[in-house]
Chains A and B, each alone.
Chain A
Amino acid sequence: MRKGWRKVLMGVVATVITVVFVAAPVQAGKKDDTLNIAFTKELETLDRYFNTAREGIVFARHVFDNLLWRDPKTFEYKPLLAKSYRWVDNLTLEVTLRKGVKFHDGTEMTADDVVYTLNFAANPANKVKTQRYSNWIKKVVKEGPYKVKILLKTPFPAALEFLSGANPIYPKHYYAKVGPKKFGLKPIGTGPYKVAEVEPGKRIVLVKNPDYFKDSPKGQPHIGKIVWRTLPEKNTQVAELMTGGLDWIWMVPPDQAKKLAAMPNIKVIAAETMRIGYLTMDAAGVTLKHGMKNDPFTKLKVRQAVNYAVNREAIAKNLVGGQSKPVYSACFPSQFGCTQDVVKYEYNPAKARKLLAEAGYPDGFTTTLYGYRNRDFAAAIVGDLAAVGIKAKLVMMKYSALREKLRGGKVQFAFLTWGSYSINDVSAITSNFFEFQEDDLARDPVVRDLLLKGDTSIDPKVRKEAYRKALQRIAAQAYWAPLFTYVSNNCFTKDLDFTPYPDAVPRFYQARWK
């Protein structure tokens, strides 16, 4: 009996040792042409019309194609699945399709697929989650086997942006048969990568599409296989990258990125993204109507003082780091219509104090600053404000909770950020906040009308002029204190040739091994 037990115990010990030492961490990467990447968020479905996270955009760009393609460097719109396109009038876009483009199952992409996909997305009855990308489409009609007409409800200048950034084209014969749920587990597209394996929420394996159409402006994929994992904890991602378990990660906090940059086998690029940070102030006195006693931010001089008080340059350089830049206009600099010809409030605490005194607050005042991300940035802002006499109590909340509070008229002063859904147009940011929406704390009809004019015209000159005036007024009235651009720390193995872009959509189909 005794001996038997001893044998079992020794067996267990031997097994443990074997398992531990033999099953060493998988070293992949360049050697077996497999790119191992990780994201923190899992996707609810791989159907782009039914997911909302950025990871969904990234996935879609690899597996599907859109009608148009936005050059990530010049921001020009070029045909992708389309061979050409032209505006027939304000409300009609005619698109001629390429011939011979094949879906991953070998069938050819034709006008039927385009008509079906876009009409599906535009029909509210189908309840796609990305309504705003497609609800401007009235109807898509087939004009021939390779020709369609997209009819708009009203003139919509962002149409080309959405046709290139959202709205991937699906195979009608397959999507109509299996439906969104099954498609979300086994999607088929025309893109540079095919889906080989899906473990929902956990792991996706993509393989190079050898039949990807030759003249695609996206170029031909190079790396044979991409293994995409969900890895929620950033520290664990960093550890995996250090040991070669992963080849690429992003959104790494600045302190960790610095350490990674010091490692011989890892490269770090702190790439600027379209997200900007800004302070919003209750200039219209919205909170007064919701029971708050006083609102110093209704005074222009107070808002200007806030703008002068925050040292944007220092925060961008020292806290955000990398390519982060200070921002003075209420938009991301590369966006269409984002003029830089506005009042610039350079860091000047003395002037801020003077303005506060003139506004009737020689000793400053007490307020609450709400925020939802980057507590360290918020703390620096609070410090700068304190230096001029504005004593702000910092309250960090979950995004959903803060947004509810803000829309309920309970927030006077908040540190917020906006990524514009990576859309390179002012309508995706300024128009989102200054057209009397629930969270518009400026409520300036002049600004609103100018923005609406820009939003609904398709003449670029008219748009630019309208947005310029609106942004100049926003800056002059200091409704916001635009702060700085965000960066994403892309950390990857030195074996990888990878270029990040400001729209924060990594393009692995362009990446290659060195």
Chain B
Amino acid sequence: MLQYTLKRLVVTFFVILVVSLVSFMLIRVSGDPAIALAGEGATQQEIEYVRHHYGFDRPLIIQYVDWAKKALQGDLGESPYFNEPVLKMIRERIGVTMTLGVSALLFALFVSIPLGVLASIRPNTWIDRVALTISVMGQAMPSFWFGLIMIIFFGVTLRWLPISGSGSPAHYVMPTIALGYYATPAFMRLIRSGMLEVLSSDHIRTARAKGLRWGKILYKHALRNAIIPVVALAAVQLGFMLGGSIVIESVFALHGIGYLAWVSIGRSDLPVVQAIILLLSMIYVVLTFLGDLLNAFLDPRIRVR
């Protein structure tokens, strides 16, 4: 187990390194940051000043090493746009994003578990098909579009829910559904196949033979076994949710780090973009790493491989 953990840890480290390097390079080649920072209509003199002031005139690799060195020491730099430490900006906004991510994940589980169980009880019937359709629709619809449709329906037509902002828990309802719905198919299919496998196994037959109630068998004997891989997947999906919140946060004007990333890309606020990519990729990688460990812990076969 220890050897496996170490191996995964090394891989994790390299993934973070590569992600940060690639994103650093991609952002720089997508347009001159000095021009973007100086603003529309800036003179050449102003642009040159910005370029020199923020060190964009140095070779790329030196800029990267410089940044990485500081990042390792926990210094993510200052946003040239806001003149504020990036770390402070992220700290102020991460709460919104985390709230959204976790509630979206809970929503996804809340929808997909009953659907998955239903589908597995009556496989290949219309119930199965309907459950599948409901969940696949979540993945097929772009989340921003689904968000806007909900705004029109629940916000404008019915006027049940507030449309934008993060003032009250009600403000999180639509963003949570828009974001969480996207993750339901993965969970639902995992539960469905897990349940099917478990339901056909011997101990279920024994339980039924003993005359236990069907509901109790489903819940105590089948679902509890089938749900184990879901726990690991949930960790990974949470990473997805945090990334997906970039779009959802701007649609619903939630001022979290996803929204911050989006606007920062537009104005080439590189230290901020860089830090958020690093943070999100780290969260994602760490969650995947924990998911791997959890799986290995639950299923000894993985460790051997």
| Chain A residues within 8 Å of B, Cβ to Cβ | 19-21, 23-26, 41-42, 44-45, 50, 52-53, 129, 131-132, 181, 200-202, 229-233, 235-236, 239-240, 242-243, 245, 397-401, 403-404, 407, 418-419, 421, 432, 437-438
Asked if B160 and A21 sit within 8 Å, CB to CB, the answer is: yes
Decide: A231 and B82 in contact? CB cutoff 8 A. no
8 A Cβ contacts from B203-262 to A: 250-253, 255, 259, 262
Chain A residues near B130 (CB-CB < 8 A): none
**Are A19 and B253 touching (Cβ within 8 A)?**
no
What's the Cα separation between A404 and B38 when bound, in Å? 12
On whether the beta carbons of B155 and A232 are closer than 8 Å, the reply is no
Interface residues of B in 66-103 (CB under 8 A from A): 81-83
Q: For chain B, give the interface size range.
A: 35 or more
- Which residues in A have their C-beta under 8 angstroms from that of B263? 41-42, 232
Known A-B contacts A25-B161, A26-B162, A438-B44; A19 and B168 likewise in contact (beta carbons under 8 Å): yes
Q: Determine if B35 and A404 form an interchain contact, defined as CB atoms under 8 angstroms apart.
A: yes
Instruction: Say yes or no: B159 contacts A44, CB within 8 Å.
Output: no
Cross-chain contact B151 with A239 (CB below 8 angstroms) = yes
Q: How far is the CA of A52 from the CA of B50 in the complex (A)?
A: 14
Looking at A19, A419, A438, which has the most chain B CB atoms within 10 Å of its CB? A19
Judge if B32 is at the interface, Cβ distance under 8 Å: yes
B33, B43, B148, B173: the one within 8 Å of A132 (CB): B43
Closest 6 CB pairs of A and B: A400-B36, A401-B31, A52-B39, A23-B170, A400-B35, A404-B32
Closest Cβ neighbor of A242 among chain B residues: B156
Q: Are B170 and A20 in contact, with the CB atoms below 8 A?
A: yes
State in angstroms the CA–CA spacing of A401 and B268 once bound together. Answer: 11
Q: Inside 8 A of A229's CB, which chain B residues have their CB?
A: 165, 253
Chain B residues with CB under 8 A of A404: 31-32, 35
B41 within 8 A of A: yes
A44 and B78 alpha carbons, distance in the complex (Å): 13
Q: Which of B31, B151, B170, B268 contacts A236 (CB 8 A)?
A: B151
Chain B nearest Cβ from A312, distance in angstroms: 23
> Which of A52, A245, A403 interacts with B163 by CB under 8 Å?
A245
CA distance A418 to B40 in the complex (A): 9
Contacts of B300 in A (CB 8 A): none
From B83, B164, B250, A44 is in contact (CB under 8 Å) with B83
Q: If A23-B170, A239-B156, A245-B163 touch, does A232 touch B259 (CB 8 Å cutoff)?
A: yes
B163 near A236 with CB under 8 A, answer: yes
Chain B residue numbers with a CB within 8 Å of A243 are 155-156, 159, 163
Closest to B260 in A: A201
Nearest A residue (CB) for B82: A44
- Checking A23, A41, A45, A432 against B168 with a beta-carbon cut-off of 8 angstroms, the contacting residue is A23
- Chain B residues near A53: list those with CB within 8 A: 39
Q: Is the CB of B152 within 8 A of A239?
A: yes
- Per-position binary interface string of chain B over residues 33-60, scored 1 when its CB falls under 8 Å from any chain A CB and 0 otherwise: 1011001110110100000000000000
Interfacial chain A residues near B46, Cβ < 8 Å: 131-132
Measured in the bound complex, the distance between the Cα atoms of B62 and A389 in whole Å is 49
A131 to B43, CA, bound (A): 10
A239 CA to B36 CA, complexed, in Å: 31
Judge whether B30 is part of the interface by a CB distance below 8 angstroms. Answer: yes
Contact of A232 among B35, B82, B162, B253 (CB under 8 A): B253
Q: Could you write out 18 A-B pairs with CB less than 8 Å apart?
A: A20-B161, A20-B170, A20-B173, A41-B263, A44-B83, A45-B83, A132-B46, A229-B165, A232-B250, A233-B250, A236-B251, A236-B252, A243-B156, A397-B31, A400-B268, A404-B35, A432-B41, A437-B44
Q: Are A233 and B253 interface neighbours, CB within 8 A?
A: yes
Interface residues of B (CB under 8 A from A): 30-33, 35-36, 39-41, 43-44, 46, 81-83, 148, 151-152, 155-156, 159-165, 168-170, 173, 250-253, 255, 259, 262-263, 268
Shortest distance from the beta carbon of B147 to any chain A beta carbon, whole Å: 9
Chain B residues near A230 (CB-CB < 8 A):
253, 255
Tell me the complex Cα distance, A432–B42, Å. Answer: 10
Q: Which residue of A lies closest to B151 (CB)?
A: A239
With A19-B170, A23-B168, A399-B36 known, 5 other A-B pairs at CB within 8 A are: A19-B169, A20-B173, A233-B250, A243-B155, A438-B44
Given contacts A42-B263, A400-B35, A401-B32, contact A20 B160 (CB under 8 A): yes
A432: which B residues are within 8 A, CB to CB?
41
By the criterion CB–CB under 8 Å, are A25 and B30 in contact?
no
A245-B164 in contact given A229-B253, A233-B250 (Cβ < 8 Å): yes
Q: Is the CB of A239 within 8 A of B155?
A: yes
Residues of A within 8 A of B165 (CB): 229
Question: Which single residue of chain A is at the shortest CB-CB distance from B252?
Answer: A236
- Chain A residue at minimum C-beta to C-beta distance from B31: A401
> What distance in Å separates the Cβ of A414 from its nearest Cβ neighbour in chain B?
14
Q: Which residues of the partner chain A approach B164 to less than 8 Å between Cβ atoms?
A: 231, 233, 236, 239-240, 245
Which of A20, A41, A52, A400 has the most chain B CB atoms inside 10 A of its CB?
A: A400
Give the shortest distance, in Å, between A203 (CB) and chain B (any CB).
8
List of A residues within 8 angstroms of B30 by Cβ: 398, 401
Q: Which residue of B lies closest to A199 (CB)?
A: B255
In whole angstroms, what is the CA distance A432 to B82 when docked? 28
Contacts A239-B156, A403-B35 given; does A23 touch B251 at CB 8 Å: no
Q: Once the chains bind, are B32 and A400 in contact (CB under 8 Å)?
A: yes
CB of A202 within 8 A of CB of B255, answer yes
Contacts of B173 in A (CB 8 A): 19-20
Chain B contacts of A45 at CB under 8 A?
Answer: 82-83
CA distance A407 to B34 in the complex (A): 13
Q: Which residues of B contact A23 (CB under 8 A)?
A: 162, 168-170
- The chain B residue with its CB closest to the CB of A404 is B32
Give the complex CA separation of A194 and B251 in angstroms.
30
Whether the Cβ atoms of A232 and B163 lie closer than 8 Å is no
A363 to B143, CA, bound (A): 47
Residue of B nearest to A202 (CB): B255
A237's closest neighbor in chain B, by CB?
B164
Find chain B residues with CB under 8 A from A25 CB: 155, 159, 161-163
B218 CB to nearest chain A CB (Å): 15
Q: Which residue of A lies closest to B45 (CB)?
A: A131
Q: Which of B31, B163, B168, B250 has the most CB of A within 10 A?
A: B163
Inside 8 A of A399's CB, which chain B residues have their CB?
Answer: 36, 40
Shortest CB distance B48–A (Å)? 11
A398–B164 Cα gap in the complex (Å)?
27
- Contact residues in B for A421 (Cβ distance below 8 Å): 41
Contacts of B160 in A (CB 8 A): 20-21, 24
Residues of A with C-beta under 8 A to B43: 132, 437
**Would A231 and B35 count as touching, CB distance under 8 A?**
no
A355 to B: closest C-beta gap in Å: 33
Chain A residues whose CB sits within 8 angstroms of the CB of B81 once the complex forms: 44
